[in-house]
Each structure stands twice: as C-alpha cells, then as structure tokens.
Structure 1
Amino acid sequence: MELNDLNIRAIKPELVDRYGHSIQGDYFQGIESAYQYCFDVLTHKRHSGQAEYNACQRFLNDLNRVDIKLDLDLVEFVLIVANSLRHPKGPIAGEPFYLLPFMVFILSQMFGWHYTNEARETLRGQRRFIKTFWAVARGNSKTVVGAVASIVNMLLNENGNPIGTCSAPVQKQSRISFEDISTMIQKASPSIRKRFDCLSNEIRVKGGGKIIPTSSESKNLDGFRIAGLALCDEIHAHPDSSIIDVLSTGMQSSKDPQLLMITTAGIDTQSYGREMFDYACSIAAGEIENDRFLSVVYAVDKADEANWRDESVWAKANPALGHAVGLEALRAACVEADRSESARANFLTKHLNVWVDFSEAGFIAAIDLIECRDHDLSIDDFKGEDCYIGLDLASVSDLSALTYLFPKNDKLYVFQRSYLPRSALTGLKEKDSARYYNAQKAGELILTESEVTDMEYIKSDIVRATKTYNVKGLACDAAAGGVRFSAEMMDEYGIEMISVKQGFGLSDSAIRFQTRIKERTLVYNDSIYEWACVNALVKIGTFDDLFVHRPMDSTKKIDPLISSLIALSMIDDGESNDIFVGFI
C-alpha cells in the first residue's frame, strides 16, 4: 500500500458510514478513518509532533508487511462495540460514543493486528500487540478510550474466567477508570449490557470473568492471572515499574494478553514514566525494535517547548482539539501559565504533554537545564587548560563529588566525577541502585570498595588533575572533614586547598549559576549531574540571598551541584565574562 492509497477522501469522496457520517468529516466510523488520519499526518495536513508522525509512518510500513495482517472484521467489531457505548460524563453524557480518527487509529491497531502464517511459527495467529503506551494531553478522552478497550477485550477474550484490571498509583484513580467502564456498560445498548453485571467493586462477565479496580500496592497484585486487559492509568505518577512489572508477569500465561498504559507527562524527568515515554518514542522512531509494543505519543516537539504560547503547536499534544478539548479553554490555561513557575509547569505537562521537573522550592527548572546538554562534550579536549576544582566531601559513607571548571573563550565548561562506597548501595530501591550503576558505566561515578568515603581515591584524582590541567584554584567545603582533608593535601602533596562555607555562603555562586542556565549559557552531558541539579531546593534569605539544599528524601543527592558551586566561587565573572557551563 502506498501513501496515496490512504487518502480515502480523494478516492471515495462520497463514502458514509452506517450512521450517515461522511468520510469528509471527523466522525466517520470505519477503518478508513484511520487511513485518512495517517495520510493527513504524513502529508502534514494535520499539524503533528514527530512521535505522532513516526507512529503513522510505522502503521503505513506495517500495512506492507506479509508477516502481519490487519483483521478488518475484528476492527469493525471493535468500532461497533464502541459505538454501542455512551459517554459516561461531561456535557454529552449519555450520547453515543463516536470515535475520532486518532481513536480509531489506536483501537484498530490494539485489536486488529495479528501474525500471519508468514511469521515465525510460535507467533502465527497471535494478536500482535501485547503492550500499548498512549501519552496525550489532558482532556483527550484517554480514560474513556481505555474503558472501551477494556470492554472490547472482555467480549473478545478466549481465556477461561479472565480477570481485567484498572490500576493506578492511587486507589482513587483506579476507581475513576473502573467507574467509567461501569457507567458505559450500564448505558450501553442491550446487546452489550446483557453481557455484564456491574457491582460496586467488580464488573462480572456473564459466562465467567470480571473487571476489578486494583490496589496501588504492587505486592497486593502478586498472584493475579491477568487474562483480560490490564489498564494502567497515570503512568507519570508511578514511583517505579513495580505495578507494571507485576501486571506483566500476571499476563504471561494468557492467550493474547494486553496491557494498556495511558498517561500525560509529569513533573519528574528522572521518573519511570519519563523512561517509558522515551522508550515508546524510540520504538515509533525505529531506534528500538519491539514488534509487540504499540507506541502512540502526542506531544509538542522539543523545538516547540520554548514557544509554548504559540497556538499552532497545541494540536500536536491535543488530537481532540476542537472536540473534547476546547481552544478557548486552552487559551485561558495559557494565560494562567504566566502567573508562576508552578502554573507554567502545569500547562506544559497537562496541556502540551511536556515533561518538566518542578517543585515549589526548586533551585532550577529542568526544562531550562535540559536545553543546555551537549552529548559530544569530553574532558579529554581540555588537557593543559586553566581549571578550577571544587570538592563536596561526604562525612562517612555518602556521595562525594569532584567538579572541574574550565574557563575558556568567555565560556565555562564543567565536568564532574562522584564517589560512593559500594556498601552504600545496600538496601537501596532498585531504581536508585540502577542510577548509580548506570553512572558508573558512563564514567560519571566511582564505586569504591571501602566501607566509608575513600579519601585516597579522591586525593589521587586531584593529584592527577594538577598534572593534566593548569589548576588555578582548589576549594573544598568547610564541613564534613573538609578542613582536615585540605591539611592532608598540603602535608602529603604540597597542594593548597581553600575552604568554602556552604549554605548562604554559596549564594553568589548559586545566583550566577541560575543566570547562566536561564541565558542558555550552560551545556552538560552528565546524567548524575542533571539528577543532582533537578533534586536541589532553595531557600531565599532576608537579603534575597540563596541557600541551596537537598530535599527531605535522603536518596535525592545534590553533591555534584554543590561541588560545582564551590568551584564557581573561585571564578570572577569580571575576568571570564559570559560563562558557558558544560559537563561530562
């Protein structure tokens, strides 16, 4: 099939569906709607983001494969079921549920693709997609479409007594999804309604099976055999992968299992949700191969984030704009977003599906920091250059960080290395220990075999730096044994270090650092450093001075940031002019 074969409006301009909806409109109920949608995206008639474009290109490519086939009879069944349901809430509650083109695109792929006899023997006849990740801005009917998928799955399910689940980070959100399913069934046509009994805590399928809202605790899901659709909402708020992992394990022995993950973006760029978001985008782009994973992401592109007030980009994250999502409502939210950093973060995440890091007392906004990363930066290019070194030393067995600043050509490049005793990983959650192991692989972190902070390892790196670079200044925090460490460096190596007081003593460095980030005069390439920066909080003193500190959560470290502020305190902006900061 060629691209032009998808232009159904041109090929069959008079086509109407069983309800009288024309293919020329937005509510045609048929696979042709999905074809036309893809044509509009791929020819840029629809203003789409890159992830959406990639998903449509993947669909076109799939139509030309011989090892999979889109079962049009199944697609037709899915659409008939959806149209037999009714809107569960809002101003059109009780009205028939007609799918917009992007909804047809998602549901037809979830249920329609199957492996043919041209596929490897173990796949033949199986439904293709086991997992679906759908990210879209708020208000685009994702929970309701998820409810449709859950109902369709139960009607098609060939497993004995299948269990379908509604899961979320909090029980309340699980109930919302569950209640949407229940309401849609109760208002559905008699042919659908008679197949279910809707109770307060479960929806029973006559003949066997049920749909239930689940606990937000993954341990309470252990042992469930998930043979129905596992609907998992608000992935951005999941603290880790535990719920998804347990649901995935519970699906393994089922025929044609399905896991549907739906979400908007969130305010933690280091989270599991962001990890899955990036993974889904990579699959659609063909950067990662996973033929059993359907990726559909609606979000403004990276290049659009700085122009978030531009109405022309809003449709990228809102495929239901002009229908479920009102333009005037978005305009009002955009005006409100200028009120504060928190309002801006809310608009970007909820309405444009952009991931940001934000807290009320956040030191910097991750959306500004991430703009500054340069993946090609290397410390190997700075041998013999002027260098300032800052050290934030752990007291006993915590994270220590050594930062190298290089003023050059009116810019300032920053590289860091952190140190942590391997014993400190004991008892950490998997996601926290994985961060450190990944940093070790990237050369950003040294895991030492000592039980406490390995001072000798740090000393040897400082001595090596004095021989490799033209070190103009060395500074260490005055706390955590810093004064003793400085004395030992002088006694053992004749290297002088000055002590710098933390807290409000680093206010000037903190203010200059914030300025450089806002001006985009900072470039980094270090994940541990990025993590430390977005973890940092700030208090404002009586004289508008700043005190950078870490959160109450002791697993969120800021030491690499503090060491760079210590180093920055030795640099006079009057000498180095506009500072440009970069990292390993």
Structure 2
Amino acid sequence: MGSTSKATRPEWIFDGSEIEDTFGFGERAVDFLRRLKHPKSQTGNFELPLFWERIVRRIYGPCFPNKRRQVRTVFILLPRGARKTTMGAGLALLHTVGWERQPSGQAMVAASAEEDARIAYDEAVSIVSETEWLQGAMKPTESLFYLEHLKSKATFRALASGGKGKLGKTPNFVLADELINWEGENARRNWSAIRTGLNKVPGTLLVIITQAGRGQENLAYELLTYARKVQSGAVEDPSFLPVLFETHPDDDWEDESLWHLVNPGLADGYPDIDGLRTMAREAKERPTERDNFRQFHLNCWLDYSASPFVAMPIYDEGKSELGSFLEDAEANQTPCYLGVDLSSTNDLTAVVAAWGDRENGYTVHPWFFLPKDNIQRKAGRDGVNYPAWEEQGLITLTEGNVVDYHFVEAQIEELAARFNVREIAFDPALARNSISNLLDKGLPVVEFRQGWVSMSPAIAELERAILARRFIHGGNPILRWHFDNIAIRTDTAGNKSFHKGKSKDRIDGAVATAMAVARCAAGDSGRSSYDDFDGDLEEFAYA
C-alpha cells in the first residue's frame, strides 16, 4: 500500500509487544474462551485468532495494584465479517459463567433491534449447547433472550436498544452491538441508562463493537471522535481502550493491501478475499455499492452524501426529449402511475407520473409545486433559481407562504382526468387529509410508506432501470437536482433507503419517482411491490 494512505490500525496488536498482565487476568480470559466450543467452527472449538486474542489480553490484563481492571470502556471499530457477534457472545459468557462473573451479576448484549438481539442470544446458546462442561450449568429462557448461571445466579440477556424495555439497573458487563444502527429517542434513552447503570458498581465493563457508519449526527460518531482522540494521545484516558481499524475517504479503495490492513481476519480466511474482489468489481460501476464496500468492508466513515444514488452521467443518458410523449400517452390511454411526495409547510411538493414496464423500461414526468411567498429567500436557502424555473414552466408557485394542498389535489384530479391513472401513491405521513379527499372523489389512491419494506424494493427497481439505460426523464433540471442530492442509507442486511445528503438538500422528486416506478412495475406484473424483496419482512417496520 502506498505511503499516502491515511488508514489506521492498532499496531500493538501486531508488533508482538508485551501486554501487561500482572495478575494473569488476561491469560485466564483467553483460556476461558479457548475452552469454549462453537458449532460453526471447522475444528469445533471457539476460534480465537491472534488479533482477537491480543484485544482480549489488552482489555483484561492491565490492572491497578488493588487488582481492579484499568479498562472500563472499549470501542472496537472493525469491518463486516470480523466475527464480532461470536466474540461478543464469548465475552458476555466470560462475565456470566466465566472468571469475570459476579454473584447475581448482569451481563447484557444490547443490539439495535429485536432480530439482532435474537442473533446474539442464539449465538450464546449455541456456544453453551456445544460446550460440554457448560451443559446443565445454564438455564435458557428463549422468550426473554435470557440465560441464567444456576450456581451464581449471574445472568446474560440480549435486548434491543431501540425498544421500550429497560436494559437493567446495575449491569456489570454490557456489549453494545453495531452502535451505528442505534437510532431514535429510545436508543438514546437506553444508552444513557446503560452508562448510568454501569457507574453504580465497581469493576464494570462496556464493550462497543461496531463497523463504520455515515454522517456525524449520531451516537456512534460521537464516541468514535473521542476514541480517535484517545488513540492519538490528544486525550489521556487509560480507562478507555480504542481499537480502531479504519480507512480514510481519500484512500485507494481498490488497493488490496488496504483491505488486508483493516481486515485483520483476512489472514485467517475471513471475510473471503474472492468475495471482496467480486464486490469491488461491481462497485466500479455503481457508486452506491462503492460506498457500501468502503463503509462495510474497509471501515471508511462516510458523509451521507459521499456519492450519488447512481452515477449522474448514467442518469443523464435518459434525458432524451419527451416530444409528444405526453400527448401520445393521453391519446392512447397508456396505463399511468403517480407518486406523490407532499412537502411540509413551505417546501417543494412533487408529483411524478410513470409509464412503462420492467422489460421495456420507464418514462417519467414530474410536476413541482412551491409556495410563492419568500421565493427569493427559499432560492438562496436551497442554492437554486426557483424564479427562473417558474418562468420556464418547470415549477408551479401556489399562493401564500405554505403549501396549498387543495391546489395540489386539484392538479392531481386534472392528471387523473387526462391520463389513464391506475394508482396514485402517497406517503401517508403528511397526506392523510389529501388521501381522504381524493378517495371521496373516487380516485385510485394507495398508501406507500417510506420504511424499508416499501422503499428498498422500489429503490432497487429504479436503480436497475437507470443502470440498464431504460429510464427516460426528459432532462428535467429539478428532478436531476433531486437525484443528485440523494444519500443512500443501507442497513446491515443490504436494504436501502433515500435520505438527504445535507439538511438543505431536496429529494422530493426522486422519492416520488421511486414510488411511481415501483407501482408501475407492480401494476404491470400484477405483483406486490414486496414480492421481490430479499430481506426478512418481519425485521423491518414501517416508518
């Protein structure tokens, strides 16, 4: 790898230096983990590669003269495929049935969602079930994701950070899993409860294991910022152990030596190097996948707007003049599907029509609406020339300083009278009244929520059409601006959702387009918009 790389990793893990272990607590932690069994291991044993062994020794070895552990908080930043879940379960068991357990102590794994909590619990149960000397020592309660060590009454529990349940009052060990996914008010509240609870008793340990995320307005980035300061020496805090494997946005993501630098498990065959090479080849043509590769496999922390949804030169290939298309669609009564993204009080509202099918592609046409008052201020705020777009007939200004929903409804009625509109898809979040009004008039309105279940397959179909050069949009500059503003958020299952890159960005037209195209595809095939969704539908809730 070139000397210009800004990637970092903890060199103490690889340099063979001595790790303090005056009382042998690091050695006994390693010994406990090595004595465990794991059903998915080729050898049947709990595999402890060198880099994880060194991390464990560094957590438990250094102690004060009174034998109290120096490290109280660990922040581990590792890419996908580093066997974080297995290690998390092993450490939790170390504090439940191993040397670090306390009588009636509480060890917890806090995940972002109940499904992830179940994965953590199942991992711990599978280890216990395979380890002969633990069989009979632990009592599982599957409905609560709960394990109890019968002799000491120490407990292990896996919980969802974003849930409404309490995480416990006095835990002695907490593993916070994939902190990048901890979002929402409940997650923040539970994080505060965790930190407060850990401070109530001596000798507690908080281990954070996560991969890189995006954006800076989140809990994970706040802690990463502190971890970087401790790692660099800008902050002296021996109680906080940073273990950061990360690359910089300027690094050459195609350089395989970089992959090895930040994926310590590659030396032991995980993740699979050939799989990484395949993903890297695909990422060359797909900016979104390139960002996913950099984030999840190279641990590069990105801004939400790191790359566009699709490469804009590819998007621009669909700017062919529509000519008489609208007149022909009207005359022939070609099936048409509308996507509507109603804005909040004073922003853009978008209505997008889509015609076509999955085989031949889609043609779309947008209509935009914006309150007239303070138009110059809005133009300055958003960095675009709204008055010029209004003069060109690309945007309709409605009277007043807030969006006129009744005016938009009237325009939708006109479109339904003009074209063969089969469905009108609304995000119901801001559109309850409009939905009710249009349904009362007999129009074919459907709800299209903005959660993972709805949007992920819609985004996938839209992306497929654009990359296949089967997406015609006529070069509308407002719609292009919205597509260029898209930031893609991808969950750990690979499902995508649209977000603004920056707070001032507008993506309403792109959202409405995805809705219209998705309903067009479903209407053409007779299939539900969820039929091609690869994820676990029970894992995702509507927004």
The alignment partner of 1:52 has SS state of coil
1:161 aligns with 2:108: no
The residue aligned with 1:81 is: 32
Counterpart pick for 2:204 among 257, 260, 263: 257
Distance 1:73 1:501 in 2: 73
Displacement after TM superposition at 1:219 (Å): 4.2
State, as a whole percentage, how many aligned pairs show the same letter: 21
TM-score between both structures, scaled by the size of structure 1? 0.52
The residue aligned with 1:284 is: 231
Distance 2:174 2:39 in 1: 20
Distance 1:59 1:194, change over 3 A: farther
Displacement after TM superposition at 1:478 (Å): 8.9
Displacement after TM superposition at 1:234 (Å): 1.1
Task: Please list every run of 5 or more consecutive structure 2 residues that lacks an aligned counterpart in the other structure.
Answer: 312-343, 348-368, 379-384, 395-458, 467-471, 488-496, 507-543
Displacement after TM superposition at 1:255 (Å): 2.7
Amino acid at match of 1:131: T
Displacement after TM superposition at 1:211 (Å): 0.7
Pairwise mapping of residues 184-199 of structure 1 onto structure 2 (< 5 A)? 184-190=127-133, 192-199=134-141
**Aligned 8 A contact 1:88 1:180 in 2:** no
Distance 2:15 2:374 in 1: 56
Distance 1:504 1:236 in 2: 44
Distance 2:391 2:267 in 1: 50
The alignment partner of 2:266 has SS state of coil
Pairwise mapping of residues 425-504 of structure 1 onto structure 2 (< 5 A)? 481-482=373-374, 500-501=387-388
Task: Please list every run of 5 or more consecutive structure 1 residues that lacks an aligned counterpart in the other structure.
Answer: 1-43, 64-68, 117-123, 366-394, 399-476, 487-497, 508-536, 563-584
1:205 aligns with 2:113: no
**Aligned 8 A contact 1:300 1:352 in 2:** yes
The alignment partner of 1:211 has SS state of strand
Distance 1:397 1:544 in 2: 22
The residue aligned with 1:131 is: 73
Distance 1:94 1:545 in 2: 59
The residue aligned with 1:97 is: 46
**Aligned 8 A contact 1:51 1:299 in 2:** yes
Q: Which has the higher contact order (CA 8 A, sep 6+)?
A: 2
Counterpart pick for 1:320 among 257, 265, 275: 265
Counterpart pick for 1:215 among 160, 179, 185: 160
**Aligned 8 A contact 1:166 1:232 in 2:** yes
Counterpart pick for 1:340 among 272, 283, 286: 286
**Aligned 8 A contact 1:166 1:212 in 2:** yes
Displacement after TM superposition at 1:559 (Å): 6.5
Distance 1:181 1:294, change over 3 A: same
Pairwise mapping of residues 386-425 of structure 1 onto structure 2 (< 5 A)? none
The residue aligned with 1:143 is: 85
Amino acid at match of 1:233: D
Task: Please give the root-mean-square deviation of Cα atoms over the aligned residues, in Å.
Answer: 4.3
Distance 1:225 1:357 in 2: 36
Distance 1:265 1:253 in 2: 30
Deviation digits for residues 467-509 of structure 1 (CA, Å, limit 9, x no counterpart): xxxxxxxxxx9956336979xxxxxxxxxxx9734699799xx
TM-score between both structures, scaled by the size of structure 2? 0.56
Displacement after TM superposition at 1:138 (Å): 1.0
**Aligned 8 A contact 2:245 2:262 in 1:** yes
Displacement after TM superposition at 1:87 (Å): 2.8
Distance 1:309 1:484, change over 3 A: closer
The alignment partner of 1:167 has SS state of strand
Distance 2:376 2:194 in 1: 52
Displacement after TM superposition at 1:325 (Å): 2.1
Distance 2:168 2:393 in 1: 52
Deviation digits for residues 544-568 of structure 1 (CA, Å, limit 9, x no counterpart): 5343458999x97957568xxxxxx
Pairwise mapping of residues 44-83 of structure 1 onto structure 2 (< 5 A)? 50-53=7-10, 69-71=20-22, 73-83=24-34
Distance 1:349 1:485 in 2: 37
Pairwise mapping of residues 333-372 of structure 1 onto structure 2 (< 5 A)? 333-358=279-304, 362=308
Displacement after TM superposition at 1:161 (Å): 0.7
Moved more, 258-267 or 169-178: 258-267
Amino acid at match of 1:545: P
Distance 1:150 1:224, change over 3 A: same
Distance 1:269 1:501, change over 3 A: farther
Distance 1:341 1:504 in 2: 34
Distance 1:328 1:71 in 2: 42
Distance 1:308 1:51, change over 3 A: closer
Amino acid at match of 2:71: F
Distance 1:110 1:275 in 2: 22
